Amino acid sequence: MDCRDDAERLRSMADEIRSGDPAGALERYIEASDMGDVKASSSAGYMLMVGEGCDPDPESAEVHLRRAAESGDQTAQCNLGALMSSMSRPEEAVRWFRAAAESGSITGMRNLASMLATGIGTGRDCTEAARLYSEAAGLGDPDSMCMLAVMHRNGQGIPIDKLAAAELYRRAADLGDPGAQYDLAFMLDTGEGIPVDHEEAERLFRLSAGQGDNDARLCLGGILYERGDLTEAVDVFMDAAMDGDVKAMYNLGLIYSDERFEDHDPAKAEEWFLGAAESGFAYGQMMMGCACLNRGDMESAESWFRKSASQGEPTSKYNLGALALSGKICMDDREAIRLVTEAAMEGVQEAADLISRLSSQGAL
């Protein structure tokens, strides 16, 4: 048995044990790579790059990936390109993505297109990027369909064409891509360059939400809330909240505060507002400020309103200014009037009414 047969045997053994013993598999891949097996070099390089069966080792990963890439292995060329990009060597990344793309690799086409669209590691060329995305999309790649759709949708280096964007999203959505399902649903729901179709939009939001897309969950939950399907809206928002989405936490607070909801529960509402507030969400902080204010806890109310107002939330600006002007918290009058004025200019009617009263009293 010659060296090539030994290398293939080692690689086959590594393939068999990789899922259960990645460290053992890596050892065998490295041995086979050193014996000249291209596929083993590709696998060893990838495992060393991502830390599968070991701590990440970019330098060793480069050695093995380069062996395979220089032998024409498309997967290794793409992974070496990704490694070069992560090591701040974008020009080399472009070279390897281009090599993979020219040999027909969809991943190579998509990654090269991304670098051309941004001009990272090469001159910016959106026309060539669009061509590459189109070629990869024609080979059935949903990610490329979505990226080309974004370029058409936003006029990113090519003319705006909302219809073309929607058609590309449709192709990717039909392949089950949750991001495409969400984006097409959003365009249909708002009539962004295409006719409004709320029924189809909801169907697509449901498909995307079912695959865990939190943006889709938020939109679907909003549709259900507006329709009065509060129980189902809670289920949808709950899924997103459990993934840590602060907007979903806030929306759950709103629903549990809603007396139309059969499980109306102000205490539970405050728990969700608190979760959103502690995660830094300005509207959650505003609602916590209001809850503390209603309990007479002025110190906590002021603290939450200040956090929210610092992010530009207008109702919190009004509440801070109004509390100061009524003598309930300490603040310079000029600063209080500035906050109330800003809130009025941002559409808070109570702030506009207060400014009007102060003006009529000659206090301004």
| Contact present, 336 and 324 (Cβ < 8 Å) | yes
3-state secondary structure of 174: helix
> Does position 1 have pLDDT exceeding 70, yes or no?
no
The reported pLDDT for the residue numbered 363 is: 62
Mean pLDDT, range 162-171, rounded to an integer? 98
The reported pLDDT for the residue numbered 364 is: 62
What is the C-alpha to C-alpha distance for residues 100 and 78, in angstroms, rounded to an integer? 6
What is the C-alpha to C-alpha distance for residues 192 and 200, in angstroms, rounded to an integer? 14
What is the C-alpha to C-alpha distance for residues 130 and 109, in angstroms, rounded to an integer? 10
Of 257, 260, 178, 258, the residue nearest 219 (C-alpha): 178
Mean pLDDT taken over the chain: 95
Which amino acid appears at position 86 of this protein? S
Residue 139 to residues 96, 105, 187: CA-CA distances in angstroms?
Answer: 20, 10, 25
The reported pLDDT for the residue numbered 360 is: 83
Of 228, 250, 227, the residue nearest 237 (C-alpha): 250
What is the C-alpha to C-alpha distance for residues 193 and 66, in angstroms, rounded to an integer? 46
What is the C-alpha to C-alpha distance for residues 193 and 12, in angstroms, rounded to an integer? 53
Per residue in 45-100, pLDDT tens? 999 999 999 999 999 999 999 999 999 999 999 999 999 999 999 999 999 999 99
The reported pLDDT for the residue numbered 50 is: 97
Per residue in 136-165, pLDDT tens? 999 999 999 999 999 999 999 899 999 999
List Cβ neighbours of 190 (8 Å cut-off, separation of 6 or more). Answer: 196
∠ Cα 181 210 264 (to 5°):
120
3-state secondary structure of 20: coil
Could you tell me the pTM of the whole model? 0.86
Per residue in 85-118, pLDDT tens? 999 999 999 999 999 999 999 999 999 999 999 9
Q: Which range is least confidently modeled, 5-9, 240-244, 322-326?
A: 5-9
**Ordered structural domains, the chain, with CATH:** 125-211 (1.25.40.10), 214-279 (1.25.40.10), 303-364 (1.25.40)
Cα 278 to its chain centre, rounded Å, is 20
The reported pLDDT for the residue numbered 5 is: 83
Per residue in 226-275, pLDDT tens? 999 999 999 999 999 999 999 999 999 999 999 888 888 999 999 999 99
3-state secondary structure of 193: coil
Number of residues that make up the chain = 364
> Does position 180 have pLDDT exceeding 90, yes or no?
yes
Q: What is the DSSP string of 348-361?
A: -HHHHHHHHHHHHT
Res. 174 pLDDT band, cuts 50 70 90: very high
3-state secondary structure of 48: helix
| Contact present, 319 and 289 (Cβ < 8 Å) | yes
Q: Identify the residue whose tokens are 């993505």.
A: 97
What is the C-alpha to C-alpha distance for residues 159 and 152, in angstroms, rounded to an integer? 6
Per residue in 259-316, pLDDT tens? 888 888 999 999 999 999 999 999 999 999 999 999 999 999 999 999 999 999 999 9
Q: Other C-beta atoms within 10 Å of 184: how many?
A: 31
